[in-house]
């Protein structure tokens, strides 16, 4: 019976003083990344874009939403707008700065969408009453490349009407603001 035991693979002795997670030499070390499966090609880190001097373009639809900051982003009539990417080229995260100093961060490893930005803003304002907000409607975002490449400035307005007095229901009309 002892012959059968020796044919099985033998267990090696483990020494608890030896840490096998640290490689024996630098050439054996592996670069450890976090969740490579969740990164999407074509979606950039804003810091990398800043180094390359890439020009960002903000989706113009953000100026026509007439969205109240303390209401859910899903309350918007046009649900397709929420799925659109906030920027071109798509980025993984962006800081959204309000004029009075508040900052929120919108994140999405597949590219920050308009809804992601609105969700980040809504999280800060959902418990505020209407009378607590001086300018409760989103007017859009501004990107000041010189001041801070990695932040968008959030603009607010007092009323939720269309910016140029036009009706939102006219679909064929395009307004350049």
Q: What are phi and psi of 154, to 5 degrees?
A: -90, 125
pLDDT more than 90, % of the chain = 51
The pLDDT of 14-21, averaged and rounded, is 55
Terminus-to-terminus CA distance in the chain, angstroms?
A: 88
Rounded to two decimals, the pTM is 0.68
- Name the one residue in this structure whose structure tokens are 């993984």: 92
Report whether pLDDT(24) > 80.
no
pLDDT tens-digit readout, 117-174: 999 999 999 998 888 888 899 999 999 999 999 999 999 998 876 544 443 443 444 4
Of residues 114 and 130, more confidently modeled: 114
- pLDDT over threshold 70, residue 2: no
Question: How much is the average pLDDT of 48-71?
Answer: 92
């Amino acid at each position: 019976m002892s012959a059968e035991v020796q044919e099985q693979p033998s267990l090696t002795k483990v020494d608890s003083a030896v840490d096998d997670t640290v490689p024996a030499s630098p050439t054996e070390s592996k670069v450890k990344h976090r969740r490579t499966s969740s990164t999407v090609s074509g979606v950039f880190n804003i810091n990398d874009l800043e180094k390359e001097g890439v020009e960002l373009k903000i989706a113009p639809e953000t100026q026509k939403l007439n969205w109240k900051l303390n209401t859910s982003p899903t309350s918007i009539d046009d649900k397709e707008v929420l799925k659109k990417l906030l920027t071109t080229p798509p980025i993984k995260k962006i800081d959204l700065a309000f004029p009075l100093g508040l900052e929120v961060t919108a994140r999405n490893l597949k590219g920050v969408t308009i809804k992601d930005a609105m969700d980040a803003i809504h999280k800060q304002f959902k418990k505020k009453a209407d009378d607590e907000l001086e300018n409760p409607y989103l007017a859009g975002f501004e990107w000041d490349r010189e001041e801070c490449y990695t932040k968008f400035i959030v603009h607010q307005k007092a009323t939720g009407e269309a910016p140029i007095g036009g009706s939102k229901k006219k679909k064929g009309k395009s307004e350049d603001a």
